[in-house]
Chain A
Amino acid sequence: MSSGSHSLTLTAEEQAMLDGADGPAVAMCMRIIVGVARANGAEKLIEIESVHADGTLYHGEAGLDFTEKLVALGGKVKVKTTTNVGSLDLLHPNLVHGDETLMSHGRRLMDAHIALGCEPTWSCAPYQAGHRPEFGSHVAWAESNAIAFVNSVLGARSDRYGDFLDLSAAVTGRVPFGGLHHDEARKAVLVLDFSEIDSRVFSEDAAWAALGVLLGNRAGTRVAAMVGLPGDLADGGVTEDRLKGMGATSASAGGVGLFHVVGITPEAPTLEAIVTPNAEYLKMTAADVREARDTLSTTSSDKLDAVSLGTPHFSVDEFRALSEVIGDGPKFAEHIDFYISTSRDVMARSKKLGYLDVFLNAGGRVVTDTCTYVTPVLNRNVRNVMTNSGKWAWYAPGNLGIDTVLGSLSECVESARAGKVVRDESLWA
């Protein structure tokens, strides 16, 4: 019978790693990499340049046992490895109010990653915190938004990795040659055409969250090319942050690991460059975008308790835009908790540039190292939360049992000041 079991060929160096030449941690990680390669029928392994590790959030003892076993066996990462968010905010320890096991095991899991030589990035947006792989380079990134971004916006190549395989790749510097590492797997099999929609809609950040829902729903795990969208990756971060939000939402609503925006993302200068001959073609309408946007609000009440931005983590450019919107206007209403999740790197740079203090002086609070939808940060009496993040709006109702309202950045600020939801519906009419 046909089987991938005998088709995998290892180099002499890889065979030696498997046999224990580089110690027991490397051998264990190599057994996992080889086991996956065999199951998938990969013909060889490839070297990777970096890893983004996502096993940093505590899900149970198995993840902790695995990571601490690697430490005990003397494991060290072989390539640059950044860390995703953890269960704790190490810089603001009083913000997270989880139970004792979550706090102590969550801390041990983060410590074990540091002991392996990972960088303490603690961010789901490492690509905006100093980790930007080169176009065409092979990497092993975990966490769905980071995978979508590194593939689509940077044009580096990562398959969709997750817990355990990320650290195994970091310790061995290898992954199975498969999935999105291949040229042919990166071509679009679906085309979403937005060219008939009034482009003023896309000046709203909330529209890009809606595009993420549409992309995820229509594409699933398939590679799609989007045509007719405005933007330029050299515009000072506006387009980059829109694609960040869209990609994150699409990876939540579907399983998108790579998308192309024709004329904007690096592998898609033209549609012809990236599309497969028999690709499915779908014409998108304004009604499709509006309908997708409406799925991200679970209440029509104007009652508001909190605002949460920064899923994925806020960038320096977003802090600048926010500080411009806030300006020297009034503070946020007394009863509104206004949170921004970001990396410690972005927080430090935004502070230096003066953007952070504008937000803090208006009454806002910053969460680092973790995120408000994966760990208990919000006050328990919070019911209605506004956000401009499609990913946050997608997961928070299930994770936290709260209601969400999707709005643009300026609507979030206006609402926080007014103490109730304020949205401008004119663009969507």
Chain B
Amino acid sequence: MGLNMTTVLSGKVSHPGTAEGEVLLLTEPVSFWGGVDHHGEIIDVHHAQHKAKMTNKILVMPSGRGSSSATAVLAELIRTGDGPLAIVMLQCDTILVIGALVSAEIYDISMPIVELDQEQYAQLTDGMNVKVDAISDHDVATITF
């Protein structure tokens, strides 16, 4: 092969982990508490991606939204396997980071959360397959597609 089609985006590790899967791109943030059911489906009727399912997807959204009880909802989704494989955001959301940290502690499942700048973030499109590498104790997270 003469052409190398691989693109590598780099960002900040908000929570470590690795994942590979299909992007679910949300055009606006979703609140996990009240906005996502326990099967990973978006149930907020006002949301642009209402009824989309985040299970086993790479969830890409601009930021977090809503109640601090979102931590418990995300941890519960990770525990049951109904949650996303990774979350990629423009603006890191503390509430979601806590959910990921707690899941790593009590269930030994490390779901990566990566923060990208606007230029890198804009290159992600819905449905594309990507690989997320956010290695622990490492400064730079990469997203490859």
Contact = CB atoms under 8 A, between A and B. Distances in A.
Interface of A: 1, 3-6, 28, 31-32, 35-36, 39-40, 54-55, 59-63, 65-66, 69, 142, 144, 160-165, 398
Contact of A40 (B13, B67, B92, B113): B92
Contacts of A35: 15, 97, 101
A36 B101 contact: yes
B105 interface: yes
28 contacts: A1-B12, A5-B12, A28-B105, A31-B101, A31-B105, A35-B15, A35-B101, A39-B14, A39-B15, A39-B113, A40-B94, A55-B72, A59-B73, A59-B76, A60-B72, A60-B76, A62-B78, A62-B106, A65-B79, A65-B107, A66-B102, A144-B68, A163-B69, A163-B72, A164-B75, A164-B98, A164-B101, A398-B34
Main secondary structure of the interface of B (DSSP, over half): helix
A60 B38 contact: yes
B18 interface: no
Interface class of chain A by DSSP: helix
B73 A60 contact: yes
A62 B13 contact: no
B52 interface: no
Question: What range describes how many residues of B lie at the interface?
Answer: 20 to 34
A36 B105 contact: no
B97 A62 contact: no
B139 interface: yes
Contact of A32 (B10, B98, B139): B98
Interface of B: 10, 12-15, 34, 38, 67-73, 75-76, 78-79, 92, 94-95, 97-99, 101-103, 105-107, 113, 139-140
B92 A62 contact: no
Contact of A1 (B71, B98, B140): B140
Contacts of B70: 162
A183 B81 CA distance: 42
Most buried by B among A6, A65, A142: A65
Given A3-B140, A59-B76, A60-B72, 14 more contacts: A1-B12, A3-B12, A31-B101, A35-B97, A39-B92, A39-B97, A54-B68, A59-B73, A65-B107, A162-B67, A162-B70, A164-B101, A164-B102, A398-B34
Contacts of A165: 71, 98
Given A32-B98, A69-B106, A161 B139 contact: no
